[in-house]
A and B are shown apart, each in its own frame.
Chain A
Amino acid sequence: MINSKIFLQGLKSNLGTRSPTVSLAACFIALGALLKDAGFNLQQSAASSFFTYALPGQLVMAESLLIGTSLINIFIAVWLVNFRLYPMTVSLFPLLKHKSQPKWKYYLSSHFLAVSSWLVAKEGYQKIDKKYRIDFWIGIGIGTWSTAVIMTIIGYLLSEYLNKDMMIGLAIVNPVYFFCMMIGAMKNISISIAVVGGTILGPIVYLFSAEWAILYAGLIAGTIAFLFGDKNGSK
């Protein structure tokens, strides 16, 4: 059903100097502590990372609960902030497709789609036989997802020992890690324009429309990058 050798290869991608584990651990420890402050119990905190596993959306949920936002508004705000997962899935899963693999593997494993696993998979998929790429992906995903759940629990339990300075230190790790990984991924002109354009437009559009900023900025910068790459023959 799953090629265990390839699965383990995917799992091992989460180790080493290019590993997302340190960054994931830092941000989910911070999230665990934050959820405790927001009134969650241990089971609820673990369930949040288990079922959602998308940090920006979980942050929006916790902060919305603290200010008493309605459930429908939480749903819309989370959908908007996590909408990036849609283009990310469409830009990864066609690379993992193979006609011999059952569809349920793709549907279920889409839950593992997050920035960290996506970047690791994008970097490593070419080394894997097309037939087993989905098993490689499941290995990466199980590794990052379980790290997130375990670290949320640890963060919750450690929250009394984490002062404000430590929380701020943990919070910077996430954007720094992802920026470095994105810079490492800038291997052609269209991806470079997409990354630089998105970084600049994200905060600018936020000034005009806080909720829609990521979606608008992503669509505008991504389309410009695509058109430029298409015109100049970039792959």
Chain B
Amino acid sequence: MSDTIRISTEDRPGRITILRVEGRLDARAADLLEQRAKDVAAEGRNLIVNMKGVTFIGSSGVGLMLTLTEEFREQAGSVRFVELSPPVRAVVELLQMMDLIGVDASEDAGLKMLEAA
């Protein structure tokens, strides 16, 4: 059962960090991811969150996606959410949030968007 969350980090050149999230992104896991993302923001790096392995997302996870978008924007940075898994996509679409957050099909597409910005 995927009752734990796993987050792996990869730093890329161009001041970009990729966080790969796997497992259930519920209320407790959202706090964990938020801390990791804020560390990235504190270093002044841009962020890519790969959500390919997310098996469940609750309102706190979705709320985090909006919070991160807002916070990176305030610091003149940017966050891209890539490879949304079907559960994530279903919930994001249910809330009609596609226009509010930056979504890309792949890490490469996310990197391109960040480089172009």
User: Is the A/B pair a real complex?
Assistant: no
What is the interface of chain B, defined by CB distance below 8 A to chain A?
Answer: none
